[in-house]
Amino acid sequence: MRKYSIIIPVYNRPDELQELLECLALQTYKNFEVIIVEDGSRIKCDEVVRNFQDKLDIRYYYKENGGQGFARNYGFERASGDYFILLDSDALIEPDYLQIVENKLNTSYVDLYGGPDTDHPSFTPVQKAISYSMTSVFTTGGIRGKKNNMGGTFHPRSFNMGLSRKVWERTNGFLTSRMGEDILFSIGAIRMGFQSELIPEAFIYHKRRTRFIPFFKQLKFFGRARINIARFYPDELKLVHTFPLLFTLGVCSIPLWLLIFKPFFYLGVCALGLYILLLFMDSLKQTRSTKVAFLSVAAAFVQLFGYGTGFLQEGWKRIWEKKTHRETGASIEYPS
C-alpha cells in the first residue's frame, strides 16, 4: 500500500481546516499522514490540529510567513510518504478521494496529477456562482482544470495536486512562493519529462471566496500571476490568456462607440446581451437555480474584469522592467 503525505498550508483559517480534517478522518484509504504548515498566521490552528491527534496521523509546524509555495516546500522536507498530495485549507473531499487516487496510480501510474474542483450543496449562492465562473468553459474555466483545454498542456494546480517523491527530489519543490507558483512548478516538472494527468474523479469541493470584492482581488492577482509565469517561460503565454483583458477593454469601450460609430455600439450591446444570456442559461442548466444563475453572470464579469485588470497591470510593469527580472512573490501580500 502506497503511503501518502497530505500537505496543507494554512494562513488564518482554523475553521476551514477543521472541516477539511473532518473529511480526512473519514477516508476509506488509511495509509496516509497529514502535515499542517502554519504560514505565520495571526489566528493559529494548533488547537484544531490537537483535537485530531487521536483520529489522524497528523503533524503541525509553524513557520514565519513566506507564502504558500514555500510553506509547501517546508512540508515536503518533513514528509515521509511515497506520494505527496497538496490541498488548500478551504477544500472538502469525499471519503473515497484517496482510494480513487490509489486505484488510478495502481492501474495507470503518473508522477504528477491534478483534480478538478466544484461546489458543494451546502455552499451559499454566491459561492456556487463563483465556483461556476471558475469552472465554466465560457470564462477562464476553459483554460484550466481540463484534460484538453484552450491553454495547452494540462498543468495541475496546487489546490488539488499530487506528485511523487521523485518529482519533488528532481524539482526541489516550488521555485516561487506566490504569483503562479503552482503552474510554474507543473511546467518545470513536465519539462523534466514527468507526465501530468487530470483525474476527474479525484475532485474537491472548493469554497473559494464568499463575497465578490475579495473574489475580484484574488482574480486580479491571478491575472498578474499569468504575466509572472511568462517571465520564467515566455512561450507559455498564449493568445487565449489575453481573453479576459480583451473582454474588459471591449465592454468598457461599448459606450464610446455610441459617440464614434453607432452601428458598432449596437453590435457591442447585442454581443454582450447574448453573452449574458449564454452565461445565465448555462449556469441555470448546471445549478438549477435562478438565483445562482443571476449571480453567476455577476461572478463571471467580476472574474474576467479582475483577471483582465491584473493582467494589464503586471503586463505594463513587465514592459518597463529588466527582462531578467523574476518575481518569487515572497514579498507580495496574497489577497486573503
Give the 3-state secondary structure of 61-91: EEECCCCHHHHHHHHHHHCCCCEEEEECCCE
Could you tell me which residues come within 8 angstroms of residue 186 by beta carbon, excluding any fewer than 6 positions away? 112, 114, 155, 156, 157, 161, 196
Whether 334 is in a domain gets the answer no
Shared domain for 170 and 267, answered yes or no, is no
Shared domain for 135 and 15, answered yes or no, is no
Where are the strands (E) in the chain, listed by range? Answer: 4-10, 32-39, 58-63, 83-87, 91-92, 112-114, 117-118, 160-164, 196-198, 204-206
Which residue from 330, 315, 159 is spatially nearest to 230, judged by alpha carbons?
A: 315
How does pLDDT run across 188-207, given as a tens digit for each residue? Answer: 999 999 999 999 999 999 98
Radius of gyration over every alpha carbon of the chain, rounded to an integer in angstroms: 20
How does pLDDT run across 264-298, given as a tens digit for each residue? Answer: 999 999 999 999 999 999 999 999 999 999 999 99
Shared domain for 218 and 279, answered yes or no, is yes
**Secondary structure (3-state) at 161:** strand
Shared domain for 223 and 269, answered yes or no, is yes
Which residue from 188, 148, 157 is spatially nearest to 72, judged by alpha carbons?
A: 157
Which residue from 246, 231, 223, 238 is spatially nearest to 318, judged by alpha carbons?
A: 231
Whether 265 is in a domain gets the answer yes
Is the C-alpha dihedral spanning 75, 80, 84, 90 positive or negative? negative
Task: Look up the CATH number of the domain holding residue 30.
Answer: 3.90.550.10
Shared domain for 34 and 169, answered yes or no, is yes
Whether 331 is in a domain gets the answer no
Whether 247 is in a domain gets the answer yes
Shared domain for 224 and 283, answered yes or no, is yes
Shared domain for 254 and 129, answered yes or no, is yes
Shared domain for 267 and 221, answered yes or no, is yes
CA angle 260, 261, 263 (to 5 degrees): 155
Shared domain for 174 and 290, answered yes or no, is no
Total length of the chain: 336
How does pLDDT run across 113-136, given as a tens digit for each residue? Answer: 999 999 999 999 999 999 999 999
The predicted structure's pLDDT at residue 236: 93
Average confidence (pLDDT) over 17-35: 97
Whether 327 is in a domain gets the answer no
- Per the structure, the count of domains in the chain is 2
Residue 233's pLDDT band (cuts 50, 70, 90): very high
Shared domain for 200 and 299, answered yes or no, is no
Which residue from 13, 137, 4, 142 is spatially nearest to 75, judged by alpha carbons?
A: 4
- Round the average pLDDT of the chain to a whole number and report it: 93
Which residue from 274, 298, 246 is spatially nearest to 133, judged by alpha carbons?
A: 298
Whether 336 is in a domain gets the answer no
pTM metric for this prediction: 0.92
Whether 302 is in a domain gets the answer yes
Whether 330 is in a domain gets the answer no
- Whether 153 shows a pLDDT value over 80: the answer reads no
Shared domain for 162 and 225, answered yes or no, is no
Q: For residue 149, how far is the Cα from the chain centroid?
A: 15
Please, are residues 297 and 280 in contact by the beta-carbon 8 Å criterion? yes
Could you tell me which residues come within 8 angstroms of residue 285 by beta carbon, excluding any fewer than 6 positions away? none
Number of Cβ within 10 Å of residue 269's Cβ equals 14
Please, are residues 136 and 146 in contact by the beta-carbon 8 Å criterion? no
Compute the distance between CA of residue 154 and CA of residue 272 in angstroms, rounded to an integer: 30
> 13-17: long-range contacts at Cβ-Cβ below 8 A with a sequence spacing of 24 or more?
13/41, 13/43, 13/45, 13/89, 13/90, 14/43, 14/44, 14/45, 14/47, 14/48, 16/89, 16/90, 16/207, 17/45, 17/48, 17/49, 17/89
Residue 201 belongs to domain spanning: 4-115+156-208
Shared domain for 24 and 48, answered yes or no, is yes
Could you tell me which residues come within 8 angstroms of residue 213 by beta carbon, excluding any fewer than 6 positions away? none
Q: Please state whether 173 falls in left (phi above 0), alpha (psi between -120 and 50) or beta.
A: left
